[in-house]
Amino acid sequence: MSGMSMALAMLIANPVILGATPAPITGPAQPGAEPQGDMVQGDTDAHARMTIAVAVHGTGPYRFLIDTGSQRTVVSTALAGTLKLAQGPQVRVVGIAGAHDVATAQVESITIGPRAFYGLTVPLLERANMGADGILGTDSLQHQRVLLDFARNTITIGNLAETGGGRGFEIVVRAKERSGRLIMTDALIDGVRTDVVIDTGASGTIGNRALQEALAKKPRQAMLKGAVSSVTGQELAVDLGVADKLELGGIGVSNVVIAYADAPAFSELKLSRKPAIFLGMRELRAFKRVAIDFTKRKVSFDLAGAR
C-alpha cells in the first residue's frame, strides 16, 4: 500500500490552472446482477479528501476514503470488531511514512450503491489514523472508472458509459499500470520530467528526493521543514517547497506545494531513482472533474470552471 493519507497543514495560495450527506444503503448487490453506474454523494474530510458511504456485509453506512494511491482496500480495527470479521494472516503495509506489519480480516462484501466487491482480505488499521471507517483501494477499482466531480462533490464508479462518457474532458493523459496504480510519465515540474501517481487518499503532494535534487539545480526559495503522517500512524520528516508549475498533458497547475521525503512508497513502485510525485487532492481540486480509468489506463481532466 502506498500513497497514504497525509495530515499536513500548508498555508499557501491555492493552485490555479494556467492556459455531505451519506447515501442510503439498502444492502449488497447480488452476484451476476447487471452493473449500473453508481453515483454517490461524497463528503470532504478535514484534509480535503473525498469519502463515500459504503455497506460492509450489508450493514452501514460507513465512511470510506476513495484512495487511488493505495493498492489495498482497508477496514478499521473498530469496524472489524463491530462486525466480528474473521481474522486473516498478518501482512506488511507500505505507506508514505514506513512499512508496518498489521492484522487482516476476511470481508464477504463491500457495497457502494448497487455495485459490490466480494471476497476481500483487508488489512486492519486504526480509524483515528485513517480519518474514516476504511479505505477503498485499487484492488476494488481495477476494472472501474472513478469520476470525481469536485463541483458537485460526487463520486461515480463504473465503466465509461456508466460514468457519463468521455465528453467534456479537455485533457486525456495515458498512464502505465504498476502494482495496481496508474503512473503518468510525461509530466513536467518546472521543466523537470516527472512521473505522477494520482493519489486521492493524500491531502497534498509528496515528491521523492530525486525530484528535490533535480529542482535544486534551479533557482529556488528556501525549503521549510515539516512532517507527514501515514494511515499506519507513522510520521515522516519532509522538506516543504513550492514548484512554480506542474505541466500535464498540455495544461499547467501553478503553486504546487511539494513535501519531499524518502518515502518507502516510492521504492515499492520502483520510483526512487527518477523524479516522481504522488499528486494529492490539493492540486486535483484545481480541476472541475477528474476521471481515473483503470481499465483503459487513462486519466482525464475537465478544466471548465477550474479556478
pLDDT of residue 221: 58
Across the chain, mean pLDDT equals 81
Pairing mode, if any, of strands 289-293 and 43-44? unpaired
Residue 60: how many other CB atoms lie within 10 Å: 22
pLDDT of residue 273: 93
Cα distance between residue 161 and residue 221, in whole Å: 46
Cα–Cα distances in angstroms (integers) from residue 282 to residues 13, 99, 187, in the given order: 11, 25, 17
pLDDT of residue 60: 86
Cα distance between residue 135 and residue 38, in whole Å: 17
pLDDT of residue 140: 87
Taking each continuous run of H as one helix and of E as one strand, the counts in the chain are 5, 23
pLDDT of residue 21: 29
Please report where in the chains the cell 485499487 appears, as a residue: 138
pLDDT of residue 15: 52
- In this prediction the pTM is 0.80
Please report where in the chains the cell 504546487 appears, as a residue: 256
Cα distance between residue 146 and residue 157, in whole Å: 5
pLDDT of residue 304: 66
Output DSSP code: residue 53. E
pLDDT of residue 38: 53
- Residues with Cβ within 8 Å of residue 272, at least 6 apart in sequence: 208, 209, 210, 266
What single-letter amino acid sits at 282? R
CB 142 within 8 A of CB 294: yes
pLDDT of residue 250: 82
Cα–Cα distances in angstroms (integers) from residue 8 to residues 68, 130, 239, in the given order: 19, 13, 12
Q: Which residues of the chain have pLDDT under 50?
A: 1-14, 16-36, 40-46, 307
What single-letter amino acid sits at 54? V
Cα distance between residue 197 and residue 190, in whole Å: 17
Cα–Cα distances in angstroms (integers) from residue 261 to residues 12, 71, 78, 223, in the given order: 20, 20, 31, 12
Closest Cα to residue 83, out of 103, 62, 65, 63? 62
DSSP, residue by residue, 120-174: EEEEEE-HHHHTSSEEE-GGGTTT-EEEEETTTTEEEEE-TTTTT-STT-SEEEE
